[in-house]
Structure 1
Amino acid sequence: MGVAFSVAAMNRRLRITVAAAAGAAVLGTVAVALPADAATPNLQFHLIQFDSPSNPDTNANSSVNGEFVRIYNNSTFSARLDRFTIKDAAGYTFTFPAHVIGAKKTVYVHTGKGTNGRKPDGTRDSARLYQQRGWHIWNNTGDTATLRSSSGRVYDTCRWTSRGTGKTTCGSLGNTVVGPEPATPTPTPRITTPTATMPPTTAPPAATTPASDKPTTSEPPLAD
């Protein structure tokens, strides 16, 4: 009886061990099947309108909302932006609320006040978020935007140093200021003709006639 019980217990333990191993193998297969970049979405600054189209800029909400940041998800899967941040060079920081950005989709973050999920004119658009500020934050003549995850990981930065047309296209492959940059004058090569320098001329010393004690007489004029 004791032998039969021991054999049954051993068989039960063996079945549990085999099942656990099979489960681990299945889990391992699932982990391998996940996309390699699932934990690292490719999020980029796509466009920053740092100079509101309103002219001149005012603290009116329509003018402040003319400033916005557009972020693009260049991944093949959706990404959660909860607690991500956008920060400028002066330290102004926007923290994302709960938001999901789809694959190959964009999200707009306006500087002014508004209702998330709606455009400034009130029409529905789930890709619209607002910083709820009453003033402009992006400097027209130069600034830096940084996108970070909730853990502080930097996903992208965008920097501009001139006004251009008031906006800049950004991306991880390099930021480009939209609009003409001040032209750098091309120096014209100067052709210099060498000037010959003559050695200084020194007049030979005048001949010295030995002094004579005889009176000097002039010759008579020629006869006609």
Structure 2
Amino acid sequence: MRSLPLATAALTAAAVFVPSLPAYAAPAVQITKVYYDSPGKDLRSNTSLNGEYVTIYNATTRAIDLEGWTVKDKTGYTYTIEGVILGAKKKLTIRSGQGSDGTSTVYWGRRAYVWNNDEDVAYVRNARGKLIDSCGYDSTRYDYKNC
């Protein structure tokens, strides 16, 4: 009857040893929203252009200097952030059109749309070019603008 205690011991040992999976660490700066289809007809008016935007969020408890960081789409349209220190737990909205930059909203200054209405990917990279976060969407399968 020695096999029963050995089997029990083997099962107990197997239950105790559980390899741990690496923990997923959320990025410090996260893309939280890509509003890719501005309301109304796409007439390239500045109001319509500013109706599409990307919002990024500082998930940390410290301010992050975003100087030289970039937001880019799949095609390669790139916006370089200048002069923004994103406070702890604060959001920054990057609108596609023109306007006056502030502490929570900046303007890409484009006269054409950035984000495709069907599908695209938004990328945020730090000043050294390291990918920090990305958010993709496909409106042909679902209408999802939050990342």
2:32 aligned with 1:46, yes or no?
yes
Cα distance in 2 between the residues matched to 1:81 and 1:159: 22
What's the CA shift for 1:78? 0.6
Cα distance in 1 between the residues matched to 2:94 and 2:114: 12
Cα distance in 1 between the residues matched to 2:77 and 2:123: 11
Considering fraction of residues, name the structure with more strand.
2
What's the CA shift for 1:162? 1.4
Aligned equivalent of 1:108, options 68, 89, 93 = 93
Aligned equivalent of 1:91, options 67, 76, 79 = 76
- TM-score, normalization by structure 2: 0.78
Which letter does structure 2 place at the counterpart of 1:135?
A
Q: Pairwise mapping of residues 12-161 of structure 1 onto structure 2 (< 5 A)?
A: 42-53=28-39, 55-117=40-102, 126-161=103-138
Q: Which runs of 5+ in 1 are unaligned?
A: 1-40, 118-125, 171-224
Cα distance in 2 between the residues matched to 1:158 and 1:85: 14
Structure 1 moving runs of 4+ over 2 Å: none
Aligned equivalent of 2:146, options 169, 185, 190 = 169
- TM-score, normalization by structure 1: 0.52
Identify which of structures 1 and 2 has the higher relative contact order when contacts are C-alpha pairs closer than 8 Å and 6+ apart: 2
Which letter does structure 1 place at the counterpart of 2:34?
I
Which letter does structure 2 place at the counterpart of 1:151?
R
What's the CA shift for 1:56? 1.0
Cα distance in 2 between the residues matched to 1:169 and 1:127: 18
What's the CA shift for 1:57? 1.2
Cα distance in 2 between the residues matched to 1:127 and 1:47: 14
| Corresponding position of 1:207 | none
SS at match of 1:143: strand
Cα distance in 1 between the residues matched to 2:56 and 2:123: 11
Which letter does structure 2 place at the counterpart of 1:116?
D
Cα distance in 1 between the residues matched to 2:97 and 2:50: 5
Q: Which runs of 5+ in 2 are unaligned?
A: 1-26
What's the CA shift for 1:155? 0.5
What's the CA shift for 1:133? 0.3
Cα distance in 2 between the residues matched to 1:58 and 1:97: 28
Cα distance in 1 between the residues matched to 2:97 and 2:114: 10
Give identity over the alignment, percent: 37
Which letter does structure 2 place at the counterpart of 1:48?
V
Which letter does structure 2 place at the counterpart of 1:129?
V
Cα distance in 2 between the residues matched to 1:127 and 1:102: 10
SS at match of 1:62: helix
